[in-house]
Amino acid sequence: MAIDCLVLGAGQEIGKSCVVVTINNKKIMFDCGMHMGCDDHNRYPDFSILSKSGDFDKTISCVIITHFHMDHVGALPYFTEVCGYNGPVYMSYPTKALSPLMLEDYRRIMVDRRGEEELFTSAHIATCMNKVIPLDLKQTIQVDQDLQIRAYYAGHVLGAVMVYAKVGDAAIVYTGDYNMTTDRHLGAAKIDRLQLDLLISESTYATTTRGSKYPREREFLQAVHKCVAGGGKALIPSFALGRAQELCMLLDDYWERMNIKVPIYFSSGLTIQANMYYKMLISWTSQNVKEKHVAHNPFDFKNVKDFDRSLIHAPGPCVLFATPGMLCAGFSLEVFKHWAPSPLNLVALPGYSVAGTVGHKLMSGKPTTVDLYNGTKVDVRCKIHQVAFSPHTDAKGIMDLTKFLSPKNVVLVHGEKPSMMSLKDKITSELDIPCFVPANGETVSVASTAFIKANASDMFLKSCSNPNFRFSNSSAQLRVTDQRTSDGVLVIEKSKKAKIVHQDEVSEALREEDHIVSLAYCCPVKVKGETDGVGLIKLLSKKISETVSYAEIHESETCLQVGSFKGSLCLKEECVHRRGISSCSEVKFLCCNWSVADLELGWEIINAMKQNL
Amino acid sequence: MELTCLSKGDGFHYPPCHMLNLSGFRILIDCPLDLLATTIFSPVPCDVGTEASAYPTPEEDDAQNPLQKKQKLEERQMTPDDLVCAEPWYKTVKALHLWEVSLIDIVLISNPMGLLGLPFLTQNPRFCAKIYMTEATAKIGQLMMEDLVSMHMEFRRLHGPPEDSSFPWWTKNLDGKDVPALLKNVVFGENGDDLGSWMRLYSLDDIKSCMKKVQSLKFAEEVCYNGTLIIKALSSGLDIGACNWLINGPNGSLSYVSDSIFVSHHAKSFDIDGLRGTDVMIYSGFSCLQTAEMTESDCISTISENNDGSLAASLLDNEESLEELEKLAFVCSCAAESADAGGSTLITITRVGIVLQLLELLSNSLESSSLKVPIFVISSVAEELLAYANTIPEWLCEQRQEKLISGEASFGHLKFIKDKKIHLFPAIHSPNLITSWQEPCIVFAPHWSLRLGPSVQLFQRWRGDPKSLLVLEDGGISSGLGLLPFRPISMKILQCSFLSGIRLQKLPALVSLLKPKIVLVPDVVNQRINLSSVKTKAILNYSENMTLSVARVVDNADVEIMAELATKLSWKKLRQRENFGIARLKGDLVMENGKQRLVSGLDQEESSGKARSLRHWGAVAPETLLDALMKMSIIGSIEHSRGENGAEDKSIIYITNPSGGMIETSEMGTTIITDDKTVASKIFQAIDGLLDGL
Ligand SMILES: [Zn+2]
Ligand SMILES: [Zn+2]
Ligand SMILES: [Zn+2]
């Protein structure tokens, strides 16, 4: 059996995450994102690869969205409302609550920016979100008879999850975006040690290894502080949710400590609304925040106010969080246009900017002018600060997680090709795990674990409950093996469930009579003087125990028994089991019989008895 | 599997307690406290309780002769003086004390009420069990225990330091002849051996160390105990965080269904799907016995004709939940009426879900009316509890989940707290309480037993006011000793009996829907309802303090063999039976995720050598054997002998070369007779080649 991993998006790139995994005939779509840097048909994953006819309900068992970022949820309304997928969609409670805000915000920006035809409407978002089944961390959901899914905490943003999916005995984990360290408000990713055939991991920072984030936080705070102290305006373009809250917590706290009175603004009511969500979704934040929230909810920001458009040209310093991030369109771009020409001002770019955005242009090199999307040019004289801490794991985190889970295979997505390739080499060489970096549209196939189910008999299970150690000398080394299972026999009958029985039960299972193969020999033994039968058996038993040290001998009257070996005094004149020697006063006979299981043992005993003959 | 019902409990506040023996593990289900029993204590110790003693005791004529007097005593009305004047002790499950605590492997706590007695168990240094409960049960239960301790400390603060004796000294005077039977019954139990179940309350530190041992479970999370049992908590609908249990192990699956509510207006509803088709179902819903419900046979007989869909529909109809809403609305209207007349309302209900809904309803109805009546919630944990309730969408009903997802608070109290319509105070002596206090008002105050907490003082304050209203939970508090120390009472009393389990008449439909192979039902329940129409393999009865053994349902345990390993086994085909394939096992048998698995062991190459077959099937044709021997240069001749007197047919091959010997062969077996080891081995080889073997 195999697991097929088809990458529809985020293959060797960042943007439009969408991976479709087929496990034992179940197809699961992980994430359904859009590419922020594209504005043609490439912005969505190519769903036509999944079904030519467009009957997605039949092909896809379920869709699971890991978090509310556009590159993970952006194409969902399109997929459900325009492409017509009607099956189950799962996301965490926070993701279900916050995604519509993100989607609506983005939709508005796109319409404003190009006045372009809407790809999906507000109504689409609403009906799409209605179909979403919310899930809780670690909640084990049986999607159908065979498919089981479970979410684990991923850090990254509020409500982000990693997803475990299992069909039959085959299991995989899709990480989505994750963070292996705690940040201001979120905990670190947390997952159980699972048996996995495949791990699909993000790899945004596949080669970066970050040290402590505190110096970087300080750098950011100092850059902003310096700007406002010099009377400048600091613009922080960010999406409404996620980074905004983290940076805002950082600034709010710093403002308190330093007693700074400069206003901090949020560009849209959206972020204020978002902060309220954060308060209710407190159970998804870090332990630290959770413990303190009754006394003080850290999302009650003291220094934060709503921004008004008229304030763009107001004199005096300020800090402004403006949506969207990456300066890809909308209000943040508009503010940028006005503030960028002043050297007093600052633009702080948190997180990753997708290729094709103004944010990306600012990050790569130090441009003096920047082309905006509509052709206008802007002089850039302001300072640019790149926030150097990120809610994504670094390379060490990816390696740690991979090592911890020890999957049979790894697929890397959501990264930049060159660094992904070097991480792949590292995983292959250091962890000895096959690793793949498929491009969009490519499928990776890996073998999957399978178990044969068999009914085990009580006798077998009982025999297994006692250790059965065997010692052996192989290549001059003493080896101990526990062979408690080797009394077991696997019996497979066509079109029936397999059975495990104890070897003594095999015949019954086969509905056959045993054909017993045994050895027999009427063995002559030398008798000194007057010895009766009982005395002889005692004598022989002593002799046997001297030579065959491990034998456990049972005597009774004129018989002795060792394992399956039975010997009894033969009083017949002419026994057919005798060879050569005939009866005389000096010689008595022991009629012996033993099974082939004790073939060697039998001969050893015979030899011992014959010794004095 | 073995089930011992340690206590059938008594309603919502005293859930049942069981000991389960499953796959060799001992599992304790719930560890509650019988808090109703604390009503034997006086809410104010006699020397302080001036109000109580001011109450005139019934006239007693000293002149009566002793016999008459005795008779009179048995019949006489109990007076507040009969109550025990001491710092309260707490009654635990008696039968639990008979078990060696170190032998318990697992403790499952189904709801916050089932947690209240656990610190008594974890105090014991020999306690080493793993404790599982849902996160919400852990949180709410811990708050309830802390509240209990804080109320108890308050009692102690008001009424002096505790006695030092560890033996309940206060029972000394209770075995006298003139002590009312009702009281004796609670203290000593029906069999007179309950004394050992009374305990002095635990401390905050005990709670803390108890909770440290807890592994809390997320909603519908699966945990694996010892690689053997997979345990899952499924919502029961009874209250926030309350759950039923599903346990999967190598010997099959077991579901534990306790008092549940199908459709709730606050908590996540009863998860039916997750419990379907188990091998054994333990039904532990005793609360249905509290109400005198009739069992209509016609509503049961229709069940067999219904399909699952309509069965589920019959369970999930919202008739019940509408009734509950009506009850809540009635409480609100009564409170409003009282307030209108200038009276206050004291609500002693502490069921979290009911309190949350009442707060919401009361606030809303007061807002829309002209009444300006403040609502007070006086409890040391109210603030935390109310804040917590708005952060756990996964444990709430769908409507309240929707609210959170659309950005509203799940429960409406937040807004009213902010607007100062609802006032939260940790205790009745809180400094700000006096300044904001105004009457008439509506007060939520524990404890429902009316022996501890602010409810005692407030009840004493208003009991003489006919305009005021006391809202009680049904369940023995008014029929037993509960109201005794407060008599006479002019205050109006409203007793509410909220749904606290599965209605008796719904049980057949539930069992039919869940389709367990075997269902275990309390005998007291089975006596009240006819379950004969239910299609299961067996319905077994269990009763309190008896152990019921249930034979394994599955005939054989399942073992999973790694497919890779199976292909590496040396497979033998059988000549006679082509449908069969057999192979000797190798590898290690391990217990993993509740499954026995055979995985690749270390002794791979060791046993892969050609092992001799030790077991054979089939028959040996003497001629064929002779031919085979010939190829090995062993020469002999055949002699057939007919079986006489019932003996079987036999053939003998006399070996002449290279040494003497013979082979006897029949249907049953073959014997090689020789003293030459080498020849014997060769002959065996030849025979082995002719038979099927292993
Ligand atoms: Zn992300
Ligand atoms: Zn992403
Ligand atoms: Zn003989």
For residue A181, the CA-to-ligand 2 centroid distance in Å is 17
Residue B507 has pLDDT above 70, yes or no: yes
Interface test with B, best of A517, A565, A598 (most B CBs within 10 A): A517
B658: preceding bond cis by omega (within 30 degrees): yes
In this structure, which CATH number among 2.40.50.140, 3.60.15.10, 1.10.3720.10, 3.40.50.720 belongs to the domain A2-209+391-447? 3.60.15.10
CB contact under 8 A, A139 and B688: no
* Cα→Cα distances B504→A119, A373, B23, B270, B381, Å: 54, 70, 31, 16, 35
Looking at all shown ligands, the one closest to residue A10's CA atom is 2
d(C-alpha B563, C-alpha B552), whole Å: 28
Looking at all shown ligands, the one closest to residue A102's CA atom is 1
For residue A521, the CA-to-ligand 3 centroid distance in Å is 7
Residue B72 has pLDDT above 70, yes or no: no
Residue A151 has pLDDT above 90, yes or no: yes
R_g of chain A, CA atoms, integer Å: 38
For residue A370, the CA-to-ligand 1 centroid distance in Å is 26
pLDDT one-digit tens code per residue, A453-486: 888 888 888 887 776 665 554 444 555 556 677 7
Strands (E), A327-408: 346-350, 369-371, 377-379, 383-387
pLDDT band per the 50, 70, 90 thresholds, residue B37: very high
For residue A344, the CA-to-ligand 1 centroid distance in Å is 32
- How far away is chain A from the Cα of B516, in angstroms, using its nearest Cα? 18
Mean pLDDT of chain A: 87
Pairing status of strand B243-249 against strand B538-542: unpaired
pLDDT band per the 50, 70, 90 thresholds, residue B91: very high
CB contact under 8 A, B393 and A93: yes
- How far away is chain A from the Cα of B279, in angstroms, using its nearest Cα? 16
d(C-alpha A138, C-alpha A92), whole Å: 11
d(C-alpha A528, C-alpha A524), whole Å: 13
d(C-alpha B37, C-alpha B451), whole Å: 10
d(C-alpha B545, C-alpha B358), whole Å: 38
| Mean pLDDT calculated for residue range A590-608 | 87
* Cα→Cα distances A396→A311, A402, A404, B100, B509, Å: 44, 10, 12, 49, 55
Residue B602 has pLDDT above 80, yes or no: no
In this structure, which CATH number among 3.40.50.10890, 3.40.50.1820, 3.20.20.60, 1.20.1600.10 belongs to the domain B320-496? 3.40.50.10890
For residue A448, the CA-to-ligand 1 centroid distance in Å is 29
Q: How many CB pairs under 8 A join A and B?
A: 239
Mean pLDDT of chain B: 85
Pairing status of strand B650-657 against strand B661-665: antiparallel
d(C-alpha A514, C-alpha A507), whole Å: 6
CB contact under 8 A, B671 and A520: yes
Model pLDDT, residue B691 = 87
Mutual angle of helices B622-631 and B677-690, in 10-degree steps: 130
Taking CA–CA distances from B219, the nearest residue in chain A reads: A139
Beta-sheet strand order (sheet of B661-665): A553-556, A559-562, A565-570, A587-595, A516-526, B669-673, B661-665, B650-657, B635-641
d(C-alpha A453, C-alpha B556), whole Å: 12
Domains of chain B, by residue range, sit at: 320-496, 559-609, 616-693
CB contact under 8 A, B677 and A603: yes
CATH topology of domain A518-610: TATA-Binding Protein (3.30.310)
- Catalytic annotation, pick one of A81, A104, A116, A202: A202
Q: Which residues of A touch B221 (CB under 8 A)?
A: 137-140
Q: Which residues of A touch B583 (CB under 8 A)?
A: 489-490
Q: Provide DSSP, A260-316.
A: ----EEESSHHHHHHHHHHHHTGGGS-HHHHHHTTT--TTS-SSEEE--GGGGG-SS
> Does the annotation count A202 as an active-site position?
yes
Residue A582 has pLDDT above 80, yes or no: no
CB contact under 8 A, B620 and A519: no
Range A214-387 classified under CATH 3.30.70.260: no
* Max Cα distance, chain B (Å): 123
* Cα→Cα distances A471→A604, B614, B661, Å: 20, 21, 36
Helix (H) or strand (E) holding B672: strand B669-673
CB contact under 8 A, A516 and B555: no
- How far away is chain B from the Cα of A39, in angstroms, using its nearest Cα? 30
Helix (H) or strand (E) holding A515: none
Domains of chain A, by residue range, sit at: 2-209+391-447, 214-387, 454-510, 518-610
Q: Which residues of A touch B598 (CB under 8 A)?
A: 485, 500
pTM: 0.85
Residue A187: CB atoms within 10 A of its CB come to 19
- How far away is chain B from the Cα of A582, in angstroms, using its nearest Cα? 14
CB contact under 8 A, A485 and B668: no
Among the partner residues A136, A498, A517, nearest to B394 by beta-carbon distance: A136
Residue B53 has pLDDT above 60, yes or no: no
Contact assessment for residue B638 and residue B620, using Cβ atoms and an 8 Å cutoff: no
- How far away is chain A from the Cα of B92, in angstroms, using its nearest Cα? 32
> Which of A46-55, A70-79, B428-437, B602-611 is the least confident region?
B602-611
Q: Which residues of B touch A606 (CB under 8 A)?
A: 675
Residue type, A73: V
For residue A416, the CA-to-ligand 1 centroid distance in Å is 15
Strands (E), A488-557: 488-493, 498-502, 516-526, 553-556
d(C-alpha A290, C-alpha A274), whole Å: 17
Q: Which residues of A touch B228 (CB under 8 A)?
A: none
* Max Cα distance, chain A (Å): 132
Model pLDDT, residue B645 = 67
| Mean pLDDT calculated for residue range B183-199 | 85
Taking CA–CA distances from A275, the nearest residue in chain B reads: B407
pLDDT one-digit tens code per residue, B649-673: 788 899 887 888 889 988 888 999 9
